[in-house]
């Protein structure tokens, strides 16, 4: 079964409310949705994150032309082909673009086998997938109120963006712990805003609040710094942006730099690369979870197949679904009482609605890392 045609839609789905975080302001999410048609008449769908202009450009100029004629089962060879087409030493410029096509290949293969993807990856290790509520508010009191709302919806895990200032970061975490109680699983994401000395000082102040982990406290390139930080204090350290590719994860393992690794198929080059990363971290006795970039229904389904089949994905996966004002699929995954139900249909188990793709279609990508209310401002990492 080979690919005979490739189509794509750049879509922007608004949020129910603006998201304010230390790296900027977001009013919605932009994704690249892909469709492949095969010579067997089977159609496969995919989705990838599209924060920067390189994603649709690489997709159109490299990924799409190479895909024509490819067997849908040759995901490993296809990924290597894209890297060999000029991106072997520039993987981060290619991984997001090829992830959407690779997902569509898996969807078509699952449909051809009449099996959900998790059955192609070892079967269900868990039937439901816990979700972590995402918190973006910079005001400690407002953030605690939002967390309480999520708790009322059944969430038991919470991820909060910090990285504003030493005083505010500690105040936000303190407010959450006070409002949610001792049993809540709270994780804090710094997005690389700290210097090593800052990190040691703030983590010492955060230690009484029993965080599940602090995510990406140092800039993405500083693997050695994360290893030193992990050894110097008690709060568990997670790496996200510094763990995009399989090779980056290997260096993290070698350096003993993380207690937790966040995976993301869009930023690693696809679902197969994520499964390989899960195996690598599993062998190193490191638990994993999934980063969220406000996945629409296709990617959310793919996330659930991954989370359901990977033994060491024992932590609740990040999700921004509560903020989405719409979707492009007819039957998005069900999220209830803080848990997702794993789709059971063939392939991804969800289907897009063409009319919704056309409704949300855009020609440009709104910037995700600037705040239009503050002209001239941009985030600096590390900041303090």
Residue 372 pLDDT class (50, 70, 90 cuts) = confident
Is 90 exceeded by the pLDDT of residue 149? yes
Question: What angle (nearest 5°) sits at the alpha carbon of residue 76, between those of residues 72 and 82?
Answer: 90
Report yes or no on 172 lying in a domain. Answer: yes
Q: Are strands 288-290 and 260-263 parallel, antiparallel or unpaired?
A: parallel
Is 90 exceeded by the pLDDT of residue 93? no
Q: Could you report the per-residue pLDDT of 180-198, keeping only the tens digit for each?
A: 999 999 999 999 999 999 9
Q: Which domain, by its residues, includes 295?
A: 118-348
- Both 200 and 151 in one domain: the answer is yes
Q: Are strands 237-239 and 260-263 parallel, antiparallel or unpaired?
A: parallel
Q: With left for phi above 0 and alpha for psi between -120 and 50, is residue 154 left, alpha or beta?
A: left
The C-alpha atoms of residue 40 and residue 55 are separated, in whole angstroms, by 29
Provide the 8-state DSSP code for 84.
I
Report yes or no on 358 lying in a domain. Answer: no
Residue 369 pLDDT class (50, 70, 90 cuts) = confident
- Both 42 and 64 in one domain: the answer is yes
- Both 104 and 69 in one domain: the answer is yes
Q: Which two tokens stand for residue 224?
A: 């050695």
Is 90 exceeded by the pLDDT of residue 365? yes
Q: Could you report the per-residue pLDDT of 151-170, keeping only the tens digit for each?
A: 999 999 999 999 999 999 99
Residue range 103-118: mean pLDDT, rounded: 98
Among the three residues 63, 89, 115, which one is the final residue of a domain in this structure? 115
Q: In which element (H, E) is residue 218 found?
A: none
CATH number of the domain bearing residue 170 = 3.20.20.120
Is 90 exceeded by the pLDDT of residue 371? no
Residue pair 230/203 in contact (Cβ under 8 Å)? The answer is: no
Is 90 exceeded by the pLDDT of residue 124? yes
So what's the pLDDT on residue 366?
86
The C-alpha atoms of residue 294 and residue 136 are separated, in whole angstroms, by 13
Residue 269 pLDDT class (50, 70, 90 cuts) = very high
Report yes or no on 255 lying in a domain. Answer: yes
- Both 159 and 245 in one domain: the answer is yes
Question: What angle (nearest 5°) sits at the alpha carbon of residue 378, between those of residues 374 and 379?
Answer: 125
Residue pair 11/33 in contact (Cβ under 8 Å)? The answer is: yes
CB neighbours of 247 closer than 8 A, spacing ≥ 6? 91
Report yes or no on 184 lying in a domain. Answer: yes
Q: Which two tokens stand for residue 177?
A: 């712990």
- Both 75 and 209 in one domain: the answer is no
- Both 214 and 104 in one domain: the answer is no
The C-alpha atoms of residue 9 and residue 302 are separated, in whole angstroms, by 18
For the chain, how many structural domains are there in total? 2
Residue 286 pLDDT class (50, 70, 90 cuts) = very high
Report yes or no on 384 lying in a domain. Answer: no
What is the residue-wise DSSP string for 234-300?
A: SS-EEESGGG-SHHHHHHHHHHT--SEEEE-HHHHTSHHHHHHHHHHHHHTT--EEE--S---HHHH
Is 90 exceeded by the pLDDT of residue 179? yes
Other Cβ atoms within 10 Å of 131 Cβ, number: 30
- Both 197 and 222 in one domain: the answer is yes
So what's the pLDDT on residue 31?
98
Q: Could you report the per-residue pLDDT of 197-208, keeping only the tens digit for each?
A: 999 999 999 999
So what's the pLDDT on residue 172?
98
- Both 229 and 133 in one domain: the answer is yes
Residue range 114-136: mean pLDDT, rounded: 97
So what's the pLDDT on residue 21?
86
Nearest to residue 137, comparing CAs of 175, 177, 193?
175
Report yes or no on 356 lying in a domain. Answer: no
Helices (H) and strands (E) in the chain, counts: 14, 13
Report yes or no on 328 lying in a domain. Answer: yes
Other Cβ atoms within 10 Å of 262 Cβ, number: 26
Report yes or no on 73 lying in a domain. Answer: yes
Is 90 exceeded by the pLDDT of residue 367? no
Is 90 exceeded by the pLDDT of residue 8? yes
- Both 233 and 104 in one domain: the answer is no
Among the three residues 74, 95, 115, which one is the final residue of a domain in this structure? 115
Residue range 217-225: mean pLDDT, rounded: 97
Q: Which two tokens stand for residue 278?
A: 């899960």
324 three-state secondary structure: strand
- Both 93 and 218 in one domain: the answer is no
Among the three residues 75, 92, 115, which one is the final residue of a domain in this structure? 115
- Both 166 and 55 in one domain: the answer is no
The average confidence (pLDDT) of the chain is 96
Q: Could you report the per-residue pLDDT of 253-265, keeping only the tens digit for each?
A: 999 999 999 999 9
Residue range 320-340: mean pLDDT, rounded: 95
- Both 266 and 198 in one domain: the answer is yes
The C-alpha atoms of residue 45 and residue 6 are separated, in whole angstroms, by 10
């Amino acid at each position: 079964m080979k690919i005979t045609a490739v189509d794509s839609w750049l879509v922007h789905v608004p949020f129910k409310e603006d998201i304010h975080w230390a790296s900027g302001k977001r009013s919605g999410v932009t994704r690249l949705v892909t469709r492949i048609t095969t010579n067997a008449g089977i159609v496969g769908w995919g989705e990838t994150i599209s924060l920067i202009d390189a994603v649709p450009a690489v997709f159109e100029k490299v990924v799409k032309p190479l895909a024509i004629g490819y067997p849908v089962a040759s995901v490993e060879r296809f990924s290597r082909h894209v890297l060999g087409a000029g991106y072997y030493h520039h993987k981060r410029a290619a991984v997001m673009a090829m992830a959407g096509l690779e997902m569509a290949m898996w969807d078509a293969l699952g449909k051809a086998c009449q099996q959900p993807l998790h059955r192609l990856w070892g079967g269900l290790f868990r039937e439901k997938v816990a979700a972590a509520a995402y918190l973006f508010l910079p005001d400690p009191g407002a953030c605690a109120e939002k967390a309480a709302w999520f708790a009322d919806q059944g969430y038991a895990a919470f991820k909060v963006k910090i990285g504003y200032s030493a005083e505010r970061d500690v105040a936000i975490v303190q407010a959450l712990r006070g409002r949610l109680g001792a049993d809540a699983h709270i994780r804090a994401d710094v997005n690389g805003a700290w210097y090593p000395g800052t990190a040691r000082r703030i983590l010492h102040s955060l230690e009484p609040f029993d965080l599940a982990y602090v995510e990406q406290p140092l800039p993405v390139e500083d693997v050695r710094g994360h290893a030193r930080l992990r050894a110097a204090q008690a709060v568990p350290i997670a790496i996200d942006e510094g763990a995009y590719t399989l090779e980056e994860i290997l260096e993290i393992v070698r350096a003993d730099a993380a207690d937790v690794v966040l995976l993301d198929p869009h930023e690693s080059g696809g679902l197969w690369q994520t499964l390989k990363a899960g195996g690598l971290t599993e062998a190193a006795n490191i638990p994993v979870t999934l980063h969220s970039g406000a996945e629409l229904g296709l990617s959310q389904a793919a996330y659930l197949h991954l989370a359901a089949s990977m033994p060491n994905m024992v932590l609740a996966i990040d999700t921004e679904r509560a903020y989405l004002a719409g979707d492009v699929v007819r039957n998005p995954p069900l999220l209830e009482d803080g848990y997702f139900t794993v789709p059971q249909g063939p392939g991804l188990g969800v289907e897009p609605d063409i009319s919704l793709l056309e409704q949300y279609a855009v020609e440009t990508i709104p910037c995700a890392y600037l705040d239009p209310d503050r002209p001239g401002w941009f985030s600096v990492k590390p900041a303090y």
